[in-house]
Structure 1
């Protein structure tokens, strides 16, 4: 089994969420792998800057999600666990733009009601659920994968 520790930004302002459009044609939250020796708090700030061109300020920890992707569905063909740490962030500067020479082709402020019609990572639904409910446990039920919702 492969394993990835990642941190994600949930940026919600005026009924819109900041989403990143991955080159694989799915929408996701800004965020990514925690590098060796890096704190997840710092990962979120770095990833928002790299992927969107925006400057983020963390407001609070929202929660943690752990999901296992079966080998038959994982990119590498090996069962994979993703442990994601979600932060509520506020954008304090910059303008959304593509990630230079990398995997994010655009970043867009998206009205929350429109999210349901996008082909997206389940991370988007998890992050929005955490932001909307703010559970004391920092955990929301797993999001079913299928249709427009991808791993």
Structure 2
């Protein structure tokens, strides 16, 4: 089983959310939240701000911890073909400056503000649905019940 600890930014302004188009190694494209893996010795709080800057070109501040999502992805659905455990730490983040741009030499090809209502029609990572559910509910425990994912969703 593989394992990944990551931090994700839920940036909402009005009725829009900041998403990033991730391009995989074979050229497939999926919309996701800005964020990524926590480096060895790094605090997830610092990770989320670093990842927003790297992937979108924007400066940001983390306003609050929204919650933690822990999910096991079966081998048949996982990219590498082995069971994968992902623990995602989600933060409510506010953009304070900078300018949207693609990630230099990275996998994020296009960061955009998109309508929250339009998210349902995108080929997206399940992380988007989890992040939006946490932002809506802001559960006191920081844990959201399993979020139904379907349609155009990818792990």
Shift of 1:102: 1.2
Mapped contact 2:129–2:149 kept (Cα < 8 A): no
CA deviation profile, 1:79-115 (whole Å, cap 9, x unmatched): 0000000000100001111111211110000111000
CA-based RMSD of the aligned residues comes to 0.9
1:42 aligned counterpart, secondary structure? helix
Separation (CA, whole Å) in 2 of partners of 1:143 and 1:28 = 16
Unpaired runs of 5+ in structure 2?
none
2:139 aligned counterpart, secondary structure? coil
Unpaired runs of 5+ in structure 1?
none
TM-score scaled by length of structure 1: 0.97
TM-score scaled by length of structure 2: 0.94
Shift of 1:140: 1.4
Question: In structure 2, what is the equivalent of residue 68 of structure 1?
Answer: 72
Mapped contact 2:63–2:93 kept (Cα < 8 A): yes
1:116 aligned counterpart, secondary structure? helix
Question: In structure 1, what is the equivalent of residue 14 of structure 2?
Answer: 14
Question: In structure 2, what is the equivalent of residue 82 of structure 1?
Answer: 86
